Amino acid sequence: MLPTGRRRILERRVRLVVAITITWNVVEAIVALWAGAVASSAALIGFGLDSIVEVLSAAAVAWQFSARDPLRRERATLRVVAIAFFLLAVVVGSDALLALVQQERPDASPVGIAIAALSLAVMPFLSWFERRTGRELGSATAIADSRQTLLCTYLSAALLVGLLANAVLGWWWADAVAALVIAVIAVREGVLTLRGEGCCAPSAHVHAHARDSTDAQQPDAAAIAAPSCECCAR
């Protein structure tokens, strides 16, 4: 089990990366929604709405780590993150389908291209930092939120390719098709998050046993520390 001092440092790191993620996504949402409205780009509007969903997920993790004992809020936060994945899939998927059916041909958007490129540069680092911290801390929610941030990276790449293909080649459908793939991935990640309640983290009942047991025998350290689910394997 982690020393108290180290755990507190890691929890502060999670709060920091979550605060940066929320701030970035708020700015990203405002710019993307504005640029999408100007260019009549369904992909950009969907990207802006996705950023709002990202804020929801990060805020849930911030709420968890504002508690004295974050593990007590682990399961509830996992459910919120999973719901955020499903909301993301609905928003992005429905927007992409609508764009394909209506054959919307958005105008070129230099601002949209710029925000997608910036997101592609920022999000991988935030995802890596939160995942690394979450693994050491043993927090399933931090790892799940880092996966959602990574998913936003894929969406940024898809948006960038789509906007460039539309601007340079006239392929108006490219971003919509890529967005549909991202929506499918989001559903998968939501299901994995729901199934992985408590995964990668020493469960609350193990900690309670460690604190309350009068038995001199300590819980098996390997059983506590060993990651046993997919979110730790990636």
Q: What ranges do the domains of the chain cover?
A: 4-233
pLDDT at 231: 44
Buried b / exposed e along 49-72 (16+ C-beta atoms within 10 A): bbbbbbbbbbbbbbbbbeeeebbe
Do residues 41 and 106 lie in contact, with contact meaning Cβ atoms separated by under 8 Å? yes
The 10s digit of each residue's pLDDT in 165-197 is 888 888 878 777 877 887 888 888 888 878 764
Do residues 116 and 36 lie in contact, with contact meaning Cβ atoms separated by under 8 Å? no
Is the pLDDT reported for residue 214 higher than 80? no
Distance CA 16, CA 109 (A): 32
10 vs 201: which has the higher pLDDT: 10
CATH architecture for residues 4-233: Up-down Bundle (1.20)
